[in-house]
Chain A
Amino acid sequence: NAGVTQTPKFRVLKTGQSMTLLCAQDMNHEYMYWYRQDPGMGLRLIHYSVGEGTTAKGEVPDGYNVSRLKKQNFLLGLESAAPSQTSVYFCASYGLDSGTEAFFGQGTRLTVV
């Protein structure tokens, strides 16, 4: 049971480039989330999904898009990366039937130069 897997783990982008971060969970969880973590700011919610085919904006959605075409995957896209998007990104999932806590991936460290 792998839990929540994020790819890639590290990436360096140039300003204006695009990329997609992939989050995969094998626990059949309904809810999935993308957070960013910055020094002194804690975890801030970017987007989330309550099920396959549905997404919603979180606290800091600007500059990001997401898709949940399959229940087990939640993709985070940056269409035109900016230095302000340099951060560590965490994906998490939560299942209504499987327990009471959210499970986290290991994070993606993104640097935009």
Chain B
Amino acid sequence: GNSVTQMEGPVTLSEEAFLTINCTYTATGYPSLFWYVQYPGEGLQLLLKATKADDKGSNKGFEATYRKETTSFHLEKGSVQVSDSAVYFCALIGGGSYIPTFGRGTSLIVHP
């Protein structure tokens, strides 16, 4: 079946630091890939997505590129802010299943 593995947290950074959260997946075919963000006490919101190989999803300064050859979808941001503190989930849909598959989530803490 499908699976998603993402780096464990928490990731603790100072404001304006560079962020990378690694995500790799296992799936048959060509799934769509997503990053969701969860702020404290809230539900999951879509942050960005990519639907085919070499697509780059971007939103709010975050980027991730769909790498078929390495089955990866790493999340990056050049300069994080305190307001980016949240839990980030890598996910996929497709690849033979319409059940969203999630990684365990990575907590990001950004200090002023």
Q: B-contacting residues of A (Cβ < 8 Å)?
A: 31, 33, 40-43, 45, 48, 50, 58, 90, 92, 94, 96, 100-107
B43 touches A94 (CB 8 A): no
B108 to chain A, nearest CB (A): 15
Contact A31 B98 (CB under 8 A): yes
Asked if A107 meets B43 with Cβ closer than 8 Å, knowing A94-B93, A101-B34, A101-B93, the reply is yes
**Shortest Cβ gap from B82 to chain A (Å):** 23
B59–chain A nearest beta-carbon distance, Å: 12
Bound state CA distance, A43 and B104, in angstroms? 7
Q: Is the CB of B104 within 8 A of A104?
A: no
Is A104 in contact with B99, judged by CB distance below 8 angstroms?
A: no
Q: Which residue of A lies closest to B103 (CB)?
A: A42
15 A-B pairs with CB atoms under 8 Å apart are: A31-B98, A40-B104, A42-B104, A43-B89, A48-B99, A90-B44, A94-B93, A100-B51, A100-B93, A102-B93, A104-B43, A104-B45, A105-B43, A106-B43, A107-B43
B43: shortest Cβ distance to chain A, in Å? 4
Q: Which residues of the partner chain B approach A102 to less than 8 Å between Cβ atoms?
A: 91, 93, 100
**CA A45 to CA B93, docked complex, whole Å:** 14
Interface residue count on the B side (C-beta < 8 Å): 20
Chain B residues with CB under 8 Å of A94's CB are: 93, 98, 100
B62 CB to nearest A CB, Å: 15
Whether A101 and B49, one on each chain, are in contact in the complex, defined by CB atoms closer than 8 angstroms, is yes
- Chain B residues, CB < 8 A from A42: 89, 102-105
Residues of B contacting A106 with CB < 8 Å? 42-43
CB neighbours (8 Å) of A58 from chain B are 99
Whole-angstrom CA separation of A102 from B33 in the bound complex:
11
Residues of A within 8 A of B32 (CB): 100-101
The verdict on B17 contacting chain A, using a C-beta distance below 8 Å, is no
Given contacts A101-B46, A104-B45, contact A33 B100 (CB under 8 A): yes
